């Protein structure tokens, strides 16, 4: 697999030291990532020249309105979808251009997944579900790591139960253990609390945070929930296939305000094009939506604040 170039651009907050791309700090990174769907009048720009990296040992959230590109970003970073152009690196190895069978092997050993719908096999016990990635790969579990996982996630007394005998929160904790059993370089969580009540959601999010702090894992979570994002170390807000905000130590109210702003802008943009329209023309619509005519949507990597957009 190709190695990360020394001159790879890094557009992360105030990062100007290009060596960060090669010092092992990034678990996964995208460089100038473009993803288009369709052709001609039906062409959709899902990702527009995205530069982003996620550091090892951190809990990051990707947020945005429906259709913003957040799920597309996760799918391309995980090798679940191809890219139109640009490069994706897992650690220092490039995964863009790998064949399907190579991606399958890579995902099995280096990437963990947590889904909204749990995706547990109903005929198997919690323990069997947790060990399934190793079973499929023909590997043997590291019993010390396995014990640490189930103890940390609070499911040591539920290992012989089948999914139907577990609560929603317990099922998601089993799914988290399954994602972590291979000690992946990065875990992608796609709306992991989407099917849970508020109490179970808080429980699962706490365990995700704990897996980062105590187990040294790297988690990238896609969510539309501002409260869920507040559990993360860093939150990225997406709109129109671009990063429009990058927030360290996000708070729920702060993220809710950002999402509301992006939804209002999306409504405004559906009424009239964003480019080539006079300020006076936009003003009336913007005022009606509570959005300034000059919205300053794009991230400003040179800013010294914890949040920029």
For every residue of the chain, DSSP letters joined together read -PBPPTT----STT---GGGGGTT-EEEEEEEEEEEES-GGG-EEEEEEEEEEEETT-EEEEE-STTSSHHHHHHHHTTSS--SEEEEEETTEE-TT--HHHHHHHHHHHEEEEETT----TTS-HHHHHHHHHHHHT----HHHHHHHHHHTT-GGGTTS-GGGS-HHHHHHHHHHHHHTT--SEEEEESTTTTS-HHHHHHHHHHHHHHHHTT---EEEE-S-HHHHTTSSEEEEEETTEEEEEEES--HHHHHHHHHHHHHHHHHHHHS-SSS--HHHHHHHHHHHT--SS---S--TT--SSEE-
Residue 21 belongs to some domain of the structure: no
Residue 62 belongs to some domain of the structure: yes
Residue 197 belongs to some domain of the structure: yes
Residue 110 belongs to some domain of the structure: yes
Residue 34 belongs to some domain of the structure: no
Tell me: the pLDDT tens digits for 186-207? Answer: 999 999 988 888 888 898 899 8
Residue 177 belongs to some domain of the structure: yes
Domains in the chain: how many in total? 1
Residue 232 belongs to some domain of the structure: yes
pLDDT at position 139:
87
pLDDT at position 125:
98
Residue 220 belongs to some domain of the structure: yes
CATH number of the domain enclosing 73: 3.40.50.300
Q: Which residues in the chain land under pLDDT 70? A: 1-24, 269-309
Query: What domain range is 63 assigned to?
Result: 55-79+100-250
pTM: 0.77
pLDDT at position 5:
47
């Amino acid at each position: 697999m190709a190695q990360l170039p020394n001159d790879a651009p890094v557009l992360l907050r105030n990062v100007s030291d290009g060596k960060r791309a090669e010092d092992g700090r990034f678990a996964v990174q995208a460089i100038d990532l473009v993803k288009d769907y369709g052709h001609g009048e039906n062409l959709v720009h899902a990702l527009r020249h995205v530069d982003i990296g996620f550091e090892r040992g951190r809990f990051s959230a990707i947020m945005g309105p429906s259709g913003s590109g957040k799920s597309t970003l996760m799918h391309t970073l995980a090798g679940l979808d191809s890219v139109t152009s640009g490069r994706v690196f897992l650690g220092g190895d490039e995964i863009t251009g790998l064949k399907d069978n190579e991606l399958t092997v890579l995902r099995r050993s280096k990437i963990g997944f947590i889904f909204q719908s749990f995706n547990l096999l109903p005929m198997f016990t919690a323990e069997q579900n947790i060990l399934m990635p190793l079973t499929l790969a023909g590997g043997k579990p590291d019993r010390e790591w396995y014990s640490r996982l189930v103890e940390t996630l609070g499911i040591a007394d539920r290992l012989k139960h089948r999914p139907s005998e577990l609560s929603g929160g317990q099922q998601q904790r089993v799914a988290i253990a399954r994602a972590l059993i291979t000690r992946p370089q990065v875990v992608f969580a796609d709306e992991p609390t989407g099917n849970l009540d508020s109490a179970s959601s808080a429980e699962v999010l706490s365990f995700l945070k704990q897996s980062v702090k105590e187990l040294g894992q790297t988690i990238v979570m896609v969510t539309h929930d501002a409260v869920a994002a507040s559990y993360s170390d860093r939150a990225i807000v997406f709109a129109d296939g671009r990063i429009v905000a990058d927030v360290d130590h996000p708070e729920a109210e702060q993220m809710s305000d950002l999402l509301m702003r992006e939804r209002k802008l999306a409504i405004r943009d559906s009424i009239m094009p964003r480019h080539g329209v006079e300020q006076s023309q936009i003003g009336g619509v913007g005022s009606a939506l509570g959005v300034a005519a000059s919205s300053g949507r794009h991230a400003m990597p040179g800013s010294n604040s914890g949040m920029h957009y």
